[in-house]
Structure 1
């Protein structure tokens, strides 16, 4: 059976490069390039076809549950399930953006955490045995962890359920809105906090999936792609998008039967156990 892969937010940047690499590495597989904007997504597919690659396109707005549902229904109808999920879609305010953290926090977490969680809840049930999940996080997540209070560090480190992480993310938003971030031990870092949430969530999801005896050998990890020259970094990153795709693709193509990494955060294909 052909392996089926989906990369969210992949009409440009790191996501585009992940699709390119998966098209080359997933033999006899089907790789879906997804994008909120259909025109941009189709244009990206055509660009890859010029390289003799053959990704498929499916519209996906990660902030729209109906859009996620449509993707799930398509995957079930056409392929009977899913084998590789790379949650790449994300946003970041520019450093020079004047919006206060009270504005940036809820907007950033809505896409980088809430939408990612919605994709997971919708697509995880159709991931087959030997499936691979990579959540594209960021080194800013581990950096933000170092800047928060010891009490918050302890809570992140000892989270046991998805709800624990959701609660922490909501507390960050509430504190951003009422101006109490510093008093409550948070760093004023919406993007970093959202990615710390993703890293923490991935660890819990990995534990949960191992308890599901109906499927076997599903690995869930998060990673930092590195500082990549994309519009998100205002092209200040020192890595190309193809270099940024290396670690996500490594996690997405871990061989069948691999036991590790599982629930880990990786940088440069190496585990960063910053806890």
Structure 2
């Protein structure tokens, strides 16, 4: 978020570019490199966030684009680039993106999860691959000294999806290992 000074805007723009480059495009590059190497019954766990819940996106039109059952990786990347363009043009708020680049990046991660799962469900059915996204909690780390969730607590839902007994596919999992409706109107308030 920024106030209308050139310095604050430049900081916001840099933060938006860095966040999207790391959290979305970085994940996308790694995923594209590893997808051909996956074996039968593989599990992919994408770390999202409560900020990655679709309800965090102010525009209902943009929400419908991110949640489309026909969304492709290319279209998703185009949407993310549209956000960066709106930030550069200082129209992100008016265009319905809001002011949190972290939310846009994590919404894109959650959307990518659904796109990949749809691909495995239709093109690689015999491989039984599961792709899910997870909100691990507000974890206390060196990068987040105000977190209220331990590293061990944050690892629990990730390990649950990676090696636990579950049949989840294409879902958004909360820090307590419960399934949350990513398409829901509000972000869950569970602790």
* Structure with greater strand share of residues: 1
Shift of 1:123: 0.4
Trace 1:156-235 onto structure 2 (pairs within 5 A). Answer: 156-158=66-68, 160-213=71-124, 215-233=126-144, 235=145
Instruction: Look up the SS of the partner of 2:169 in the other structure.
Output: coil
TM-score (norm 1): 0.60
For 1:212 and 1:253, how far apart are their aligned partners in 2? 24
How many residues were matched structurally?
A: 173
Contact conserved, 1:103 with 1:177, CA < 8 A, in 2? no
For 1:181 and 1:145, how far apart are their aligned partners in 2? 16
1:100 equivalent in alignment to 2:11 = yes
Contact conserved, 1:145 with 1:196, CA < 8 A, in 2? no
Q: 2:62 — aligned with what?
A: 152
1:266 equivalent in alignment to 2:173 = yes
Instruction: Look up the SS of the partner of 2:46 in the other structure.
Output: strand
- The structure number with the bigger radius of gyration is 1
| Structure 1 gap segments, 5+ residues each | 1-97
Contact conserved, 1:160 with 1:204, CA < 8 A, in 2? yes
Over the aligned positions, Cα root-mean-square deviation in angstroms equals: 1.7
Shift of 1:148: 1.5
Deviations 1:80-116 (A, max 9, x none): xxxxxxxxxxxxxxxxxx5632111111111101010
Instruction: Look up the SS of the partner of 1:194 in the other structure.
Output: helix
Deviations 1:21-44 (A, max 9, x none): xxxxxxxxxxxxxxxxxxxxxxxx
For 2:182 and 2:32, how far apart are their aligned partners in 1? 27
Shift of 1:133: 0.5
Larger RCO (alpha carbons 8 Å, 6+ apart):
2
